[in-house]
Amino acid sequence: MPIAKKLKSYIGLLVLVLLILLPVFILSQSLPLAKLFSPWPVLFGTLGKLTGLIGLAAFSFSLLLASRFVWLDRLFHGLPRVLNVHRWLGVISFVFIIFHPLFLAARFLPVSSQAAWLIFSFWGNAAYLFGYIAMLIFMGLILMTFLWRLRYERLKSLHSLLSVPLMIGGIHGLLIDSDIKRIPWLAAYFIILISVSVVAYLLRLALVHYGIKAKAYSILAIGHSSKNSIKVTLAPDKKAIEMKPGQFIFVSFPDIKKGEEHPFSVAEINSDGSIAIVAKILGDYTKKMDSLEKGFKAYVDGPYGSFGDGISINERQVWIAGGIGITPFLSMARDFTSCPTQNAKVDLFYVVSSLDDLAEADSLKKMSAACPNFNLTTYISDKEGRFDLEKLRSMAKDLKSCQFYICGPAGMIEYFVSVLRKENIPKNCINIEAFKLL
């Protein structure tokens, strides 16, 4: 990743951290520091306050990031980074919210363990009841998300319920005799933050369901780019979405299921505004895509991602694609090979399990034949064994002078990032694209 691009991605993260810590600053301005951390019961009381404030703020921003608006992609320089931060905020908020009542209960341990336990038994008090319900729902949803292997559609449905504990937790914070209730600026902060987060998230769900957030396209052509993959070409009904090579979009086909969208890399970006996506026929949704016909409607949301942004015309590049991870490279390769005065050199290693998984191979071979600086190597692991660093080293010389672009299964990405770092390849020379999106 170029330095300028890396710094831009950190600006959004820095702003986010400052906003999450803003309640702590407001609290510190309202109460003397000497009264926050001593004696021992006060220390645990303060820790209980801080974990509650930070946990609720982190949870709110986690939900806001899940709203998946394009401006978030630009702020963090890529939706995969946005959703990665979203997941980490989910973990942070989970831990902090769990410790919030534990620290508050620990204040009473010098009196007795029974007094500490009483904080969990005020079910007749509305303020406490809202807190208990919010915590139980939140813990249940987070644990189900992380521990259960759910299908994409069910995971999305489960994820959409996260606004419920956030709203209930906000009511708890405003009702209970707390600093949020006593400090007007703190109350205003959480009312605005929770309202914006919930409205933004629910608005996205509604806009996606009714096809408002996305642009209307129609299927121009449909076919198979390999035995195990399907290619769909889409033409805009009105104005086309402007896209760059390497980006991805969310596409929904009402004829399969209204409002259900899935991420696809853009394999082709044509001058007439039409685009093409290539999907591996794997789950129920992609199998149903085979029943689509020319003229059927599609709704496209995006574009997202910045995988292809850092490609310079003056550097040596190694592209590693695993399976359907070839899709972002297809549009990048078309863009790269369309420049007759190209100074850079690209070695694309396309790794698949079998010949049946080799999508768009003929198109890639034509591009390689037409552009001397674009070299294609297809690798069938069922025949030739695992594609690893030694295989890569034997085919591409002087790896330390290269920029790496990797897309494919998570295991393959983790392996190559690890071994390349051990080879002292700088982190900013390794660019990855991974799809773990909601």
Q: What is the pLDDT of residues 180-211, one digit of tens each?
A: 778 888 889 988 988 888 888 888 777 766 66
3-209 under CATH 1.20.120, yes or no: yes
Chain segment 256-311, per-residue pLDDT in tens: 887 778 888 888 998 888 999 988 887 777 788 888 889 999 999 888 877 777 66
Q: Stretch 364-385: mean pLDDT, rounded? A: 86
Cβ atoms of 108 and 117 within 8 Å: the answer is: no
Whether 215-304 and 316-433 share one fold: the answer is no
pLDDT band at 1 (very low <50, low <70, confident <90, very high): very low
More confident call, 377 vs 341: 377
More confident call, 35 vs 177: 177
- Domain 215-304 sits in CATH at 2.40.30.10
Q: Exposed, middle or buried: residue 7 (CB in 10 Å: 0-12, 13-18, 19+)?
A: exposed
Domain residue spans of the chain: 3-209, 215-304, 316-433
Q: What is the average pLDDT score of the chain?
A: 81
- Indicate the class that CATH gives domain 316-433: alpha beta
Q: Which of 9-23, 259-273, 311-325 has the least mean pLDDT?
A: 311-325
- Residues pairing with 278 in the sheet: 231
Which tokens belong to 361? 């191979």
Output the pTM of the full model: 0.73
Per residue, the 3-state secondary structure of the chain, as one string, reads: CCHHHHHHHHHHHHHHHHHHHHHHHHHHHHCCHHHCCCCHHHHHHHHHHHHHHHHHHHHHHHHHHCCCCHHHHHHHCCHHHHHHHHHHHHHHHHHHHHHHHHHHHHCCCCCCHHHHHHHHCCCCCHHHHHHHHHHHHHHHHHHHHHHCCCCHHHHHHHHHHHHHHHHHHHHHHHHCCCHHHHCHHHHHHHHHHHHHHHHHHHHHHHHHHCCCCCEEEEEEEEEEEECCEEEEEEEECCCCCCCCCCCEEEEECCCCCCCCEEEEEEEEECCCCCEEEEEECCCHHHHHHCCCCCCCEEEEEEEECCCCCCCCCCCEEEEEEEHHHHHHHHHHHHHHHCCCCCCCEEEEEEEECCHHHCCCHHHHHHHHHHCCCEEEEEEEHHHHCCCCHHHHHHHCCCHHHEEEEEECCHHHHHHHHHHHHHCCCCHHHEEEECCCCC
Q: Stretch 94-107: mean pLDDT, rounded? A: 86
Chain segment 143-155, per-residue pLDDT in tens: 776 666 555 556 6
